[in-house]
Amino acid sequence: MVVPVRRRGAELEGAIIDAAIEQLCEVGWKSLTMEGVAAGAHTGKAAVYRRWSSKADLVADALEARLPPLLEASDTGSIRGDLVQLCRWMRDVMHSRSGEALRSVLHECDSTGVERFQGLIFNRLVRPSAEVFRLLVERGITRGDVRADARGEYVADVIPAMMMYRSKVCGSEWPNSDIEEFADQVLVPLLRG
């Protein structure tokens, strides 16, 4: 039997959120229970239910709280260097505990369940990474190493689409050498035309 630890407020909520992320990584979305999260946080299940009325609400808040912050897009001096930096950040997010937890949700939720997380995914991952990509493209256009008409929305989708496909379908871990090949063979030629 798990003996609850006396914590309150932000400390207790942080422990519950961390336990939810761990449960997602260990047992997945379908097997995650509020009771399992409470046990992982070393608290009573009433403490979890007082804060979150459903598993989906808890998981959405946990992902929101633990997904890494957006990359600070420092200027490496070339579009290639900027793209490699962005892809490495995206890989690190995908392979973080919160990224693993998010993949668990996406892989196991039915289409109705995934709808609950679409806004979170769009606001925390898709839109911010597209904004960074657009910044890199604009900087590259100004520098002269990106063609002026490379601003298209579909162009911004190439990185996440390829990275997710190669991770999910091909089992790629995206080592630095693969990221550099991706930049050299796909991204830089795409942007330079």
Q: What CATH number is associated with residue 124?
A: 1.10.357.10
**In the chain, alpha helices (H):** 9-31, 34-41, 45-51, 55-66, 79-94, 97-108, 111-121, 127-143, 153-168, 176-182, 188-192
- Could you tell me the pTM of the whole model? 0.82
The answer to whether 136 touches 74, Cβ cutoff 8 Å, is: no
* In a shared domain, residues 138 and 177: yes
* Measured distance CA(157)–CA(163) in Å, rounded: 10
What's the domain range around 160?
Answer: 69-192
Q: What is the pLDDT of residue 14?
A: 96
pLDDT higher than 60, residue 26 = yes
Is residue 33 domain-resident?
Answer: yes
Asked whether residue 171 falls in the same domain as residue 185, the answer is yes
Question: Does residue 136 sit in the same domain as residue 160?
Answer: yes
The verdict on 85 and 142 lying in the same domain is yes
User: What pLDDT is recorded for position 70?
Assistant: 79
Average pLDDT, the chain: 90
Q: So what's the pLDDT on residue 72?
A: 82
Confidence of residue 171 (pLDDT cuts 50, 70, 90): confident
What does the alpha-carbon distance between residue 51 and residue 44 come to, in Å, rounded to a whole number?
A: 12
Residue 3 lies in a domain: no
Same domain, 177 and 106: yes
| Contact assessment for residue 169 and residue 115, using Cβ atoms and an 8 Å cutoff | no
Which of the four pLDDT bands, split at 50, 70 and 90, describes residue 19?
A: very high
Name which of 83, 90, 73 is nearest 161 in CA terms.
Answer: 90
21 plus 76 within the same structural domain: no
**CA 43 to each of CA 46, 72, 186: distance values in angstroms, whole numbers, following the listed order:** 8, 37, 49
pLDDT value at 82 more than 90: yes
Mean pLDDT calculated for residue range 33-45:
96
| Domain end marker among 29, 44, 65 | 65
Range in 3-12, 19-28, 62-71, 135-144 with the lowest mean pLDDT: 3-12
Write out the two tokens for 152: 């298209």
Band of the pLDDT at 147, cuts 50, 70, 90? very high
Give the residue with greater pLDDT, 106 vs 91. Answer: 91
> Of 31, 50, 65, which marks where a domain is finished?
65
Check pLDDT > 90 for residue 156: no
Average of pLDDT values for 146-172?
89
Same domain, 23 and 75: no
Are 58 and 122 members of one domain? no
Say yes or no to pLDDT of 65 above 70.
Answer: yes
Q: Give the domain-ending residue among 44, 65, 86.
A: 65
Pair (59, 86) in one structural domain: no
> Is 183 found in the same domain as 162?
yes
Overall average pLDDT of the 92-110 stretch? 87
Tell me, yes or no, whether 157 and 184 share the same domain.
yes
Q: For position 31, which CATH number holds?
A: 1.10.10.60
Residues 181 and 123 both lie in one domain: yes
52 located within any domain: yes
Q: Per the structure, how many domains does the chain have?
A: 2
